[in-house]
Amino acid sequence: MGDYWRKVFARAWSDTKQSFGWNQKTALTALAALAGIAVAFIQLGLVAAIASATGLFWTALPIAIAGLLLFVWNFISAPASLYNELSKEYGERIAALELALANLRQLPLDYAAWRHVDRLSLRDAAFLWCELSPASQAMPSNVNAWFNALAAAIAKDELDFEPQYRESPPARERQREYQKRNPQLDTIVTRKALKAFANIHGYDPKFLRDA
């Protein structure tokens, strides 16, 4: 329990500092103000130093009160933020474990069979790239990362794809450009195109090996 409240306090303090932009620059500004009081004391005497400090105090007091109120607010709201982060983290872990369990229940990938498949959706290609069966329902983070990588390769003309035309020939070029900029899970790529992309970057996924 003590560790939990330390995390709440740390989050509230961090959020408060971030709200005020507390960093090296603001710390140097505060030190410069204190140095100004010291200079006033040395050159003008105690009365001038007290007057300078009093002015700074009344200037800083509203900021300090606002900071205290903001810290209290952040302290109250920190548990909800921590809960959301933990929920997301554990949700991803549970999804990964469920996927791993589902993969354990499945038969191993038949790479010999996949070598005869010349056309793949980006979704299937991303799963196979990660040595996972495309039959899986959930898309884990590593598969999603490779889907994004392949989609980006299409957008950069590093990976050829097969456009799906739904309009008359005059509009096909425009449609192809749109699909290139916005690849989808069902965007079709060929085995040959995937191998060319892999060769460019030095990748060697198992499902693209000839034997």
Query: Tell me, what's the pLDDT at 105?
Result: 59
Which carries the bigger pLDDT value, residue 95 or residue 4?
95
Average pLDDT of the segment spanning 14-37: 54
Is the pLDDT assigned to residue 37 strictly greater than 80? no
Q: Is the pTM of this model over 0.85?
A: no
Query: Tell me, what's the pLDDT at 119?
Result: 96
Displacement of CA 95 from its chain's centroid (Å): 18
Query: Tell me, what's the pLDDT at 25?
Result: 46
CA 157/CA 152 separation, integer angstroms:
9
Query: Tell me, what's the pLDDT at 118?
Result: 95
Q: What is the mean pLDDT of the chain?
A: 75
Give per-residue pLDDT as tens, 136-175.
Answer: 667 888 999 999 999 999 999 999 999 988 767 777 888 8
CA dihedral in degrees (49, 51, 52, 54; nearest 10)?
120
Is the pLDDT assigned to residue 20 strictly greater than 90? no
Query: Tell me, what's the pLDDT at 140?
Result: 85
Contact 99, 172 (CB under 8 A): no
Which carries the bigger pLDDT value, residue 209 or residue 3?
209
Query: Tell me, what's the pLDDT at 207?
Result: 93
Query: Tell me, what's the pLDDT at 174?
Result: 87
Give per-residue pLDDT as tens, 84-142.
Answer: 776 777 777 777 777 666 666 566 788 899 999 999 999 999 999 999 888 866 788 89
Average pLDDT of the segment spanning 13-36: 55
Residue 107 to residues 94, 111, 115, 139: CA-CA distances in angstroms?
22, 12, 17, 18
Compute the residue count for the chain: 211
Note the helical H segments in 132-208. 141-155, 172-181, 191-201
Average pLDDT of the segment spanning 10-36: 56
- Grade residue 58 by pLDDT with cuts at 50, 70 and 90: very low
